Amino acid sequence: MRTLRFLLRKEYRQIARDRMMLAQILVLPVIQLLLLANAATFEVTRARLYAVDLDHTVTSRALIDRLVSSGRFARAGSSGSMALADAAMLDRRADVIARIPRDFERDLLRVDAAPVQLILDAKDGAAAAVTRSYASTIITGYAAELGAARPGRQAFALGAPAPAAPRVEVRSRAWYNPGLDYQDYMVPGILVELITIAGTLLTAVNITREKEIGTLDQLNVTPVTRAQFIAGKLIPLWSIALVEFGVGLAVAAVVFHVPMRGSVALVVGVAAIYLVAALGIGLWVSTIAGTQQQAMFITFFLMLIYLLMSGLFTPLRSMPDWAQWIAHLNPVMYFVRIMRDVLMKGAGPSDIAPDVGILALYGALVFTLAVRQYAKRSA
């Protein structure tokens, strides 16, 4: 234990002295969070709307006006012809077609429900989904107002897809994030990515550096054991990554107003478990890399998988089976999910227990593997 204390003292001293590293740990992630949270947006402003109004009534025109005046849509044209609308979309002049059928007003008044068809250019699937949700929200709101304007009637909804039987209505409500505020779910995810990358990279590079400058050999001829050495390395990096996580969480709350519905202490606790896995991966990288440069290349390779197979930018369900399998090996995926569950849904310990269990198991596994690999290398 005494030896470990000396190792820790030395490590903290070196970290405190390394300005580049301090910046890398405390400043860069905050900048990245500020930048990425604004750049990684799914928000669609001014989707080009082509209106095919076959009803030509006050109600139908008002609906189109309502869509355009929301600021989410820009008028790309209107006509009574679906063929023209089709052509507009093919020419990339329109992103969305709203088709209001004949007798829209009449149906609405008579049977309390009427279909509106939305046709979306889904080349960019994420954008299309967002556009659709905007349109649904606006149309639903409009219908609700019409209902409220007439006493004695309940609000009624209308929406896509059409043609639908009059009584089949889409009532979408975005739970936990009613405004579909992308920052609420992107910021926690990006924060997870950042501490993962920082944790893995710092660990991999730091240990490889000892190898590169020969101090690892120098330590290996001392009575310092492998366990002491690894603990002496990982405890400081782990605590730093945890501080970084806390700073990021504060930025998320203060700057981006990310809701903190669940317990903040809970996510910090999970982060503490999660970082063991992230740092374990870094440790493993350091056992196979001979130089800091190699360590960085391997980490960059892992980083892309971390990022793109985590369900952060693309939903897991839309991946092919094999990719979903890989995503399930990605610790980032679990922690992103936990973060969203706790912060947005207010999930408690029992709700996230299975995912936390997987993370703990993951950490133990990666760690064992890395330590064994390390032992083999230094034999």
Partner 1 sequence: MTRGRADARAPNLDEPVVVRDVVKRFGDTVALDGVSMAVRRAEIFGFIGPDGAGKTTLFRILTTLLVPDAGEARVLGMDVVRDLWQIRPRLGYMPGRFSLYPDLSVIENLTFFASVFGTTVDAARDVIAPIYSQIERFHDRRAAALSGGMKQKLALCCALVHRPDVLFLDEPTTGVDAVSRREFWELLGQLKASGLTIVVSTPYMDEAGRCDRVALVQRGRILELDAPGVIGSRYRHPLVAVRGGDRQRVLTALREFPHAVSAFPFGETIHYADARSGSDPAAIARELDVWLAQRGLDGARAEAAQAGIEDVFMDLMETPRPQAAA
Binding piece for partner 1, criterion CB under 8 A, among 216-224, 237-245, 278-286, 317-325: 216-224
Identify how many contiguous H helices and E strands the chain contains and give both numbers.
15, 4
Q: Which of 126, 155, 180, 224 binds partner 1 (CB under 8 A)?
A: 224
Q: Which of 220, 293, 318, 368 binds partner 1 (CB under 8 A)?
A: 220
Q: Which of 219, 242, 303, 305 binds partner 1 (CB under 8 A)?
A: 219
**Least separation in angstroms between CB 210 and partner 1:** 9
Binding piece for partner 1, criterion CB under 8 A, among 4-12, 66-74, 128-136, 314-322: 4-12
Nearer to partner 1 by Cβ, of 9 and 257: the residue is 9
Residue 13 interacting with partner 1 (CB under 8 A): yes
**Least separation in angstroms between CB 39 and partner 1:** 35
Count of C-beta atoms within a 10 Å radius of residue 263: 15
Residue 301, φ and ψ in degrees, nearest 5: -60, -50
DSSP strand pairing (96-100 vs 117-120): antiparallel
In the block, residue with structure tokens 């189109």: 64
- State the Cα–Cα distance between residues 51 and 64, nearest whole angstrom: 7
Residue 65 interacting with partner 1 (CB under 8 A): no
Residue 151 interacting with partner 1 (CB under 8 A): no
Residue 291 interacting with partner 1 (CB under 8 A): no
* Residue 271, CA distances (Å) to 35, 245, 370 in order: 22, 8, 20
Q: Which of 152, 178, 214, 320 binds partner 1 (CB under 8 A)?
A: 214
- State the Cα–Cα distance between residues 191 and 211, nearest whole angstrom: 30
Which 3 state secondary structure label does DSSP give 155? coil
**Least separation in angstroms between CB 16 and partner 1:** 10
**Quick one: DSSP state of residue 27?**
I
Binding piece for partner 1, criterion CB under 8 A, among 3-11, 118-126, 233-241, 312-320: 3-11
DSSP strand pairing (47-53 vs 73-79): parallel
Nearer to partner 1 by Cβ, of 18 and 103: the residue is 18
Residue 18 interacting with partner 1 (CB under 8 A): yes
Residue 372, φ and ψ in degrees, nearest 5: -65, -40
Residue 372 interacting with partner 1 (CB under 8 A): no
**Least separation in angstroms between CB 19 and partner 1:** 11
Q: Which of 3, 24, 78, 294 binds partner 1 (CB under 8 A)?
A: 3
Binding piece for partner 1, criterion CB under 8 A, among 5-13, 100-108, 135-143, 283-291: 5-13
Nearer to partner 1 by Cβ, of 17 and 150: the residue is 17
**Strand arrangement of the beta sheet that strand 96-100 belongs to:** 73-79, 47-53, 96-100, 117-120
* Residue 26, CA distances (Å) to 93, 159, 292, 370 in order: 45, 47, 21, 27
Residue 10 interacting with partner 1 (CB under 8 A): yes
Nearer to partner 1 by Cβ, of 58 and 379: the residue is 379
- State the Cα–Cα distance between residues 82 and 379, nearest whole angstrom: 74
Residue 6 interacting with partner 1 (CB under 8 A): yes
Find how far residue 356's CA is from the centre of its chain: 18
Write the DSSP assignment of 264-314 as a string of letters. HHHHHHHHHHHHHHHHHHHHHHHHH-SSHHHHHHHHHHHHHHHHHTSSSSS
Residue 103 interacting with partner 1 (CB under 8 A): no
Residue 7 interacting with partner 1 (CB under 8 A): yes
Positions in the binding site for partner 1 (CB under 8 A):
2-3, 6-7, 10, 13-14, 17-18, 213-215, 217-224, 378-379
